Each structure stands twice: as structure tokens, then as C-alpha cells.
């Protein structure tokens, strides 16, 4: 798809909010307040390359809304990053923390770069440079970043170290998704996928079926996509027929073995050309005849151009913003049951919140404690969204918005901001 034809994610996020505001008959000043970010930073980051030359990078941090708590959300390193993408993702974080009812607001950050072209030491200097640029405006009680597309626990460790150098004391709660040794939480790395699978399991139950024996296609093979493959094909006995990454996808009617595919990706840099599977395109993956489609890559992939060809009965959005509002309407009319992004992928931020709680008390939980608490948060949120959607005869995304917008709007109103 040409860059100019891609939907503007922030326009999408505003349109989704407008729909919910209309149903809620939201006070116009509250609605206007919630349509825009509260604060954003645009920073310029100089980077000394290994060969001695200098390059200048653009970075953003958007604190969309902090009525319910400190801003919270990841940092993306991506060459197609724009400030509107970061705004949209920060808005979705606001609705995400609200739908799972954790005391945090929404934020997001991004650096326009291609991390695959940087050496490890260049990546470290860029990560530290970004935190130096925004460090005066983040903190455990202000804004707490985390990993997102192409950022890793190692990058979180460099960023934490740089921040602690700035403030001259330990402050593990300034960033989540850290390595365990630096105060990370058990279960954080798989938590986005784990939360999504919990929601999917509850949805299947609601639809009178079970995940076991179902077929699945996963678009995107980063943290969320890979763990989803592992958990779905292992614990849930779901047959994963297709997976893809930025270079393309693979399909096997017998199902793809997680350990073998991830080893192939680690060795070759892509899932493509996996022995015994057929190569397919990312576009083809989205319209495969499977029970469950899991978009786990980037925003704006299910659009009005391909939504009517989606054959899955359930779409579980592990990515942020994969479905445009027009596509949403088409899927709803077709009877496709969509588990919206800010519910389905909230497991990541839920365990990030658990990480913050553990950092604040300097007392760490077992994997079982994390798992049980995540389970409780996700099932409660799913039940509330499903119930709200049924009550208003709307899709699950609008149902989720109704819950979140009400919660955030109430906090904004109580504070007297609008
Ligand atoms: N980047 C993840 C998301 O989009 C996690 C955010 C966080 O843990 O703060 O939900």
C-alpha cells in the first residue's frame, strides 16, 4: 500500500472516540478535551555513528491523558514512525489502561529510525540519547515508558541506567519491560500474548466453543506474535497454519511447529522459506480460511479494501490499531467477532503495572502470582466489554470505548479540567 493511501492512525483514533462520545452523549467540552493529547515532546537526537560521522534523529513522546494516573506506554523504533502514529498509540494506551482498570494514564514514544541498520553500540547511544532528551519529563509518578515495536529489554536497561544517571538515584519504576535482573517482572515478556489468549479463550467460551482444535493465522512475528504461536499451539492445542513477519509469510495446512519456526527465524532473520511450508504474502495471510486471525504487527492492515475477504470468525488484535473504522463496520456486518486491540493486547501493560507495583514495594512476585492476577484482570475486562457491547448492540470495540471513555471522562471531570 502506498504511504499516502495508509489511513492516518490519529484520525482513526479520533473517529473511534467520536462514535463512543455520541452514544454516551458526552459533554462537548469533555469530548473536545479527550480528542487531543495533553502534552507532547518533539526532540532531536544527535547520534555519533561507529565510523565517527554524525546522524540526527527525530523522537517523540506523547502524554495523551494523565487524569487516572501517570502516562504509560511503550517506545517504538521504526522508520515509518510519525507524530500522528504516536498520538494515536498514546490515545489507545489511555483507553487500554482504563478498560483493564489500572491507575495509569496513556502515553507513547517513538524514534524515527531503522534499528536493523544500527550496530549494538549505535543502538545503545540512540537509546540513551532519547532518554536524555525526554528524561526531565518522565518518572515513576509522571510517565513510565516500556518496550514496543523493535525495542527490547536490553534497550529498557540502557534507558533506565541513563535515567538513573540523570537523577542520581535508583528509580526502577521509571520504565517497565526491564530484564529481571534490573527489577523486571516475571511473565512480562509473554504477557501481551498471554493476555490475548486469555481474552480469546473467554470469547470462544462466550461463542459456545473452545480454542482446542481451532485453526489460526498470525500476522507479525515479534514479541507478541511469537509468544502467541507458542502458547496457542502448545497449551491451547490450536493449529497455527500461517505466520508472517515484515519479509512475508508461510503456510502449512498441517500446522507450524513453534520451536522449529522460531529457530528458523533466529537463524535466517525471517520465517520465509521454512522447510515444508509454502511462502505467502502478508496480504494473503489476512484472508486465509482459518477460525482465528491474529494481527500482531502494525496498524492499518485490515481496511475497507480487504475486510470483506476476511474469513476468520474471530479477529484477536494483538497489534495496536490493525483495523480501520470502515473495516470494523464491514467485519461487524459479516458477523466477525473482533477482540479490539486495547482489550486484547492489554496484558502487556497490565504486567507492566504489576512491575511498577513490585518496584515501588521492592518485593517481587512469583510467576504464579503474576499469572493469577493477569488472569483476573483480563477476564473481568473481557466480561465487562462483552456485556456493554451486547447492551448497546454495538461491536466490542465500541463496547470497550464506552467503558474506557466513561472512566477517563469522569476523572477529567472530577479534576475540573473540562
Ligand atoms: N507497548 C505495549 C502496549 O502497546 C506495552 C505498554 C506498557 O507496558 O506500558 O500496550
Stated as kind and residue range, the H or E segment containing 93 is: helix 83-99
Ligand 1: nearest atom to the Cα of 352: 8
Instruction: Kindly tell me the sign of the dihedral angle through the C-alpha atoms of 22, 24, 28, 29.
Output: negative
Average pLDDT estimate for 396-409: 98
- For ligand 1, pick from 144, 344, 352 the residue to mutate: most ligand atoms within 8 Å of CB: 352
- For ligand 1, pick from 74, 76, 145, 195 the residue to mutate: most ligand atoms within 8 Å of CB: 74
CA-CA distance, 9 to 187, in Å (whole number)?
A: 30
pLDDT value at 1 more than 50: no
DSSP string, 120-187: HHHHHHHHHHHHHHHGGG-BTTTEE--B-TT--HHHHHHHHHHHHHHHTS--GGG--S--GGGTPPTT
Residue with cell 507524530: 83
Question: Which residue CA neighbors atom 6 of ligand 1 most closely?
Answer: 73
Distances (CA, A) of 348 to 18, 209, 354: 26, 26, 10
**Of the candidates 177, 175, 291, 207, which has an alpha carbon nearest to the alpha carbon of residue 242?**
291
pLDDT band at 5 (very low <50, low <70, confident <90, very high): low
Ligand 1: nearest atom to the Cα of 177: 8
CA-CA distance, 330 to 324, in Å (whole number)?
A: 10
Pair type for strands 143-144 and 106-112: unpaired
**Of the candidates 141, 69, 161, 146, which has an alpha carbon nearest to the alpha carbon of residue 110?**
146
* 3-class secondary-structure state, position 70: coil
Give the pLDDT score at 236. 87
Question: Which residue CA neighbors atom 8 of ligand 1 most closely?
Answer: 349
Residue 90's CB is within 10 A of a number of other CB atoms, namely 31
Give the pLDDT score at 259. 97
User: Dihedral, CA atoms, 126, 79, 316, 216, nearest 10 degrees?
Assistant: -100
Question: Which residue CA neighbors atom 9 of ligand 1 most closely?
Answer: 73
Residue 324 sits at φ, ψ, to 5 deg, of -80, 160
Centroid of ligand 1 to alpha carbon of 397 (angstroms): 18
At 156-165, the pLDDT tens digits run 999 999 999 9
Centroid of ligand 1 to alpha carbon of 349 (angstroms): 5
Burial-class residue 418 by CB neighbours within 10 Å (0-12, 13-18, 19+): middle
Give the pLDDT score at 3. 45
Q: Any alpha helices (H) in 25-59, and if so which ranges?
A: 28-34
**Of the candidates 160, 154, 229, 159, which has an alpha carbon nearest to the alpha carbon of residue 192?**
229
Centroid of ligand 1 to alpha carbon of 348 (angstroms): 5
Q: Which one has a higher pLDDT value, 7 or 125? A: 125
Stated as kind and residue range, the H or E segment containing 249 is: strand 248-251
**Of the candidates 311, 302, 294, which has an alpha carbon nearest to the alpha carbon of residue 329?**
302
Any ligand 1 atom below 6 A from CB of 72? yes
Any ligand 1 atom below 6 A from CB of 222? no
Roughly how many angstroms between the first and final C-alpha of the chain, as a whole number? 40
Ligand 1: nearest atom to the Cα of 349: 8
pLDDT band at 2 (very low <50, low <70, confident <90, very high): very low
Which residues, 6 or more positions from 109, have their beta carbon under 8 angstroms from its beta carbon?
A: 59, 60, 61, 62, 73, 74, 75, 76, 86, 130, 134, 145
At 80-99, the pLDDT tens digits run 999 999 999 999 999 999 99
Whether 311 contacts 335, CB under 8 Å: no
| 37-182 CATH, one of 3.40.50.150, 3.40.50.300, 3.40.50.1240, 3.40.50.10860 | 3.40.50.10860
Centroid of ligand 1 to alpha carbon of 276 (angstroms): 35
- For ligand 1, pick from 90, 349, 350 the residue to mutate: most ligand atoms within 8 Å of CB: 349
DSSP string, 316-343: E--SSS-B-HHHHHHHHHHT-EEE-HHH
The residues that are catalytic are 108
In this structure, the chain runs to a length of 418
Centroid of ligand 1 to alpha carbon of 95 (angstroms): 12
pTM value surpassing 0.85? yes
Grid coordinates representing 207 are 461463542
Q: What are the structural domain ranges in the chain? A: 37-182, 191-344
At 217-265, the pLDDT tens digits run 999 999 999 999 999 999 889 999 999 999 999 999 999 999 999 999 9
- 37-182 and 191-344 share one fold: yes
Any ligand 1 atom below 6 A from CB of 156? no
Q: What is the DSSP letter of 147?
A: B
Residue with cell 486471525: 293
Give the pLDDT score at 103. 98
Whether 63 contacts 71, CB under 8 Å: yes
Any ligand 1 atom below 6 A from CB of 107? no
Any ligand 1 atom below 6 A from CB of 320? yes
Average pLDDT estimate for 64-71: 98
Centroid of ligand 1 to alpha carbon of 208 (angstroms): 31
Whether 409 contacts 30, CB under 8 Å: yes
pLDDT value at 351 more than 50: yes
CA-CA distance, 405 to 392, in Å (whole number)?
A: 15
| 191-344 CATH, one of 3.30.413.10, 3.40.50.720, 3.30.70.260, 3.30.450.370 | 3.40.50.720
Whether 58 contacts 47, CB under 8 Å: no
At 368-381, the pLDDT tens digits run 999 999 999 999 99
Amino acid at each position: 500500500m502506498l504511504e499516502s493511501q495508509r489511513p492516518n492512525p490519529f484520525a482513526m483514533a479520533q473517529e473511534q472516540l467520536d462514535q463512543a462520545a455520541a452514544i454516551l452523549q458526552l459533554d462537548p467540552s469533555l469530548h473536545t478535551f479527550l480528542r487531543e493529547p495533553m502534552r507532547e515532546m518533539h526532540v532531536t537526537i544527535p547520534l555519533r555513528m561507529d565510523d565517527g560521522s554524525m546522524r540526527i534523529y527525530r523522537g517523540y513522546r506523547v502524554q495523551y491523558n494523565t487524569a487516572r494516573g501517570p502516562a504509560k506506554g511503550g517506545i517504538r523504533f521504526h522508520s515509518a514512525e510519525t507524530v500522528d502514529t504516536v498520538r494515536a498509540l498514546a490515545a489507545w494506551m489511555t483507553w487500554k489502561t482504563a478498560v483493564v482498570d489500572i491507575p495509569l494514564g496513556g502515553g507513547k514514544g517513538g524514534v524515527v529510525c531503522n534499528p536493523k541498520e544500527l550496530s549494538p553500540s549505535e543502538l545503545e547511544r540512540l537509546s540513551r540519547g532519547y532518554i536524555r532528551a525526554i528524561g526531565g519529563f518522565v518518572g515513576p509518578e509522571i510517565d513510565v515508558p516500556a518496550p514496543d515495536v523493535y525495542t527490547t529489554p536490553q534497550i529498557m536497561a540502557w534507558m533506565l541506567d541513563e535515567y538513573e544517571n540523570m537523577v542520581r538515584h535508583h528509580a526502577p519504576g521509571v520504565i517497565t519491560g526491564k530484564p529481571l535482573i534490573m527489577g523486571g517482572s516475571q511473565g512480562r515478556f509473554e504477557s501481551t500474548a498471554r493476555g490475548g489468549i486469555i481474552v480469546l479463550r473467554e470469547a470462544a467460551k462466550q461463542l459456545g466453543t473452545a480454542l482446542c482444535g481451532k485453526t489460526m493465522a498470525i500476522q507479525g512475528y515479534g514479541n507478541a506474535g511469537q509468544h502467541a504461536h507458542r502458547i496457542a499451539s502448545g497449551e491451547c492445542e490450536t493449529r497455527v497454519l500461517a505466520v508472517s513477519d515484515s519479509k512475508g509469510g508461510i503456510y502449512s495446512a498441517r500446522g507450524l511447529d513453534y520451536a522449529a519456526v522460531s529457530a528458523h527465524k533466529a537463524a535466517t532473520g525471517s520465517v520465509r522459506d521454512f522447510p515444508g511450508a509454502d511462502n505467502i504474502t502478508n496480504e494473503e495471510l489476512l484472508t486465509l480460511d482459518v477460525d482465528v486471525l491474529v494481527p500482531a504487527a502494525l496498524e492499518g492492515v485490515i481496511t475497507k479494501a480487504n475486510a470483506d475477504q476476511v474469513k476468520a470468525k474471530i479477529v484477536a488484535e494483538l497489534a495496536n490499531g490493525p483495523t480501520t473504522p470502515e473495516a470494523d463496520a464491514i467485519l461487524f456486518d459479516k458477523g466477525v467477532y473482533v477482540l479490539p486491540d486495547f482489550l486484547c493486547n492489554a496484558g502487556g501493560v497490565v504486567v507492566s503495572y504489576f512491575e511498577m507495583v513490585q518496584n515501588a514495594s521492592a518485593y517481587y512476585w512469583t510467576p504464579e502470582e503474576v499469572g493469577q492476577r493477569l488472569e483476573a484482570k483480563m477476564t473481568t475486562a473481557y466480561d465487562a466489554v462483552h456485556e456493554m457491547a451486547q447492551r448497546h448492540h454495538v461491536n466490542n470495540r465500541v463496547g470497550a470505548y464506552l467503558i474506557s471513555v466513561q472512566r477517563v471522562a469522569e476523572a477529567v471531570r472530577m479534576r475540573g479540567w473540562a
